[in-house]
Structure 1
Amino acid sequence: MARKKAAAAAKNSYTAHLIAGATGDLVHRMLGIAAGQFPNATIKIVDHPLVDSEARLQAALAAADGPRSIVIHALPSDESKRRIKRWCVPRSIPEFDATGPLIDFISTCVGQLPENDLSRLHQVDMAYGQRIEAMEFALQHDDGLGLPTLRAAEIVIVGVSRVSKSPTTLYLASRGYKTANVSISPQTGFPPELAKISQKKIVALTTQPKLLQAIRSDRADEMGMEHTDYDDLPAVRREVMEAEAEYRRRGWPVVNVAGSTIEKTAAQIIELLKLPTR
């Protein structure tokens, strides 16, 4: 039985090689969304970014030469696209041009032929540097760090312990938003620096007290910690209610993360703060 399960798992396991002229970050994200729609198939994504030379293309193709491989490419050069097809077809490796259909569509709409200029890919991908800067900012402003420079944030997430502040912060940073998060508790209260920040930047996260208590209790068990008011249900319920009352008093929008994904929470924050989509 175990052998049959292993064989079935191997049969439904694929490696998608993403060959991109720039970072390929956007195509990677789109591929991840698409792959998630096939729960009975395991699709591992292998990135081959910055393929801007013959040698790099050859190396990427060599890496893709294996069983159950899929090649997805986002390259501007028509010759590179043809080379990939000529390489994949005799090996029976499926290939898909992630940029071709869109470029052809836009070309038809605007009545112009594309220039296939690799340097323009890097111009578009300048947002990559912005995302790196945002990630560095998030790490420097996680869980109440960097309070003196909190004003530089585009988004400030506030909440009690274990309401997914850090994961949401890092996800927003990966999208290019300079995000900080500040933890509050009955012991520490609200840092005075929050009063100096524009309300248009602040969002509070909350959740169901029973769910939060379970998360904290599991965390305490994992860490070998003694159980205290931190994961006592009546105390947690009181902490959440008092925090939510203070959020309302300060006029901060509140997002309930119970049953929500990080991506959905981030989308709600972007919408509430009326930020441009990145």
Structure 2
Amino acid sequence: MDNENLLIYLVSDSIGETAEQVAKAAISQFVFENYEIRRYPFINEKSQITEMLEEAKQQRSIIVFTMVVKELKTFLAEESAKHNIPCIDIMSPIVEGLSGILQSTPKREPGLIRKLDEKYFRKVEAIEFAVKYDDGKDPRGLKKADIVLIGISRTSKTPLSMYLAHKNLKVANVPLVPEVAPPKELFEVPSKKIIGLTTNPMKLIEIRQERLKALGLKSEANYASIERILEELEYADDIMKRLSCPVIDVSSKAVEESASIILEIFREIGYKLTNGK
């Protein structure tokens, strides 16, 4: 009997990866190789369970399941018992234990872990996008972005890009410098996707002087002079007017506050972002 082939049926109302991992981990504890795993994912009807049981009752079988829909798992347990097929519920003991500790009712919605994984990978993708298309590195990314930030140096373009990326948004940013013409791709992007960033010139002087000190350079360099800053701001203002894009003054705002304003602007104009918000 021990050498008779064993069929392990993995039944799930989602993908069934959890059931497979647990079943493989369990059977590895035995010196037994005559087994076959059959996976039945996305079970959402009793007829599917009945069909599976008709097959399972023909041979030595065991059912391992991860189902959260109460009606279906009750049906599976009852029908398996009628055919004398061992049936193991992996999820319920853990879910019920957590429910008691958390004093909360489980959602009983299939596939939630997969949705969480997808959300995580979207965030990673958005962060990689922000890094790849930071500081105008590759203008080809402008058309792929959900949001394009433009502004002169030290107007929080990169911090804002990264903050918004953590909200699953693909953000590219472009520095505006009088001596360098903006990429032509910027003028091919819908203006509703572009946000201009500006700041108070006196505040910017302080920021740039601190930046120069951090780099070991003299604070009186042209980069931090009022003449240069006014020139840059005027140039940037002209570009933003040509693009007809909204403009945010970030001089006295934290990154979180500026990001909130940006998202509110997009909501007001009804522009659909990829994260659905």
TM-score norm. by structure 1 comes to 0.58
Aligned residues: 179
Q: In 2, distance between residues paired with 1:221 and 1:124?
A: 44
Q: Which runs of 5+ in 1 are unaligned?
A: 1-51, 54-75, 86-96, 104-112
| Residues 1:182 and 2:181 are matched in the alignment | no
CA 1:189–1:217: 2 relative to 1, 3 Å: farther
Q: How far off its partner does 1:213 sit?
A: 1.0
1:145 aligns with 2:145: no
Query: Which has the higher mean CA deviation after the structures are superposed, 199-208 or 188-197?
Result: 188-197
Residue 125 (structure 1) shift: 4.6
* Percent identity between the two aligned chains: 30
1:74-103 Cα deviation digits (max 9, x unpaired): xx8231355xx5xxxxxxxxxxx4xx55x5
Relative to structure 1, the CA distance from residue 114 to residue 195 in structure 2 (aligned partners, 3 Å threshold; closer, same or farther) is closer
- Given residue 170 of structure 2, which amino acid in structure 1 is its aligned partner? K
Question: Is 1:258 aligned to 2:251, yes or no?
Answer: yes
8 Å contact kept, 1:210–1:237 = no
Q: Is the CA contact (8 Å cut-off) linking 1:229 and 1:235 kept in structure 2?
A: yes
> Is the CA contact 1:158–1:183 (under 8 Å) kept in the aligned structure 2?
yes
What root-mean-square deviation, in Å, do the aligned CA atoms of Structure 1 and Structure 2 show?
2.4
8 Å Cα contact 1:77-1:116 kept in structure 2 = no
- Residue aligning to 2:95: 77
Give the Cα–Cα distance (whole angstroms) in 1 for the partners of residues 128 and 148 of structure 2. Answer: 15
Q: Deviations over 1:157-215 (max 9, x none)?
A: 00100000000000111100111011111221322221121112111111101101110
Structure 1 runs of 4+ with >6 Å offset? none
Distance 2:109 2:231 in 1: 60
1:129-159 deviations in Å (ceiling 9; x for gaps): 1111111111100001121232111111001
Equivalent positions of 1:129-208 (< 5 A) are 129-208=121-200
Structure 2 CA distance for aligned equivalents of residues 245 and 150 of structure 1 = 20
- Determine if contact 2:136/2:173 at 8 Å carries over to the other structure: yes
Give the corresponding residue for 2:119: 127
Partner of 1:273, secondary structure, is helix
Instruction: Tell me which residue corresponds to 1:211.
Output: 203
CA distance in 1, matches of 2:229, 2:141: 30
The separation in 2 between residues aligned to 1:211 and 1:243, in whole angstroms, is: 17
Residue type at the aligned position of 2:221 = T
Give yes or no for contact 2:130–2:172 (8 Å, CA) kept in 1: yes
Match of 1:20 in 2: none
* 1:107 equivalent in structure 2: none
Q: Which has the larger radius of gyration?
A: 2
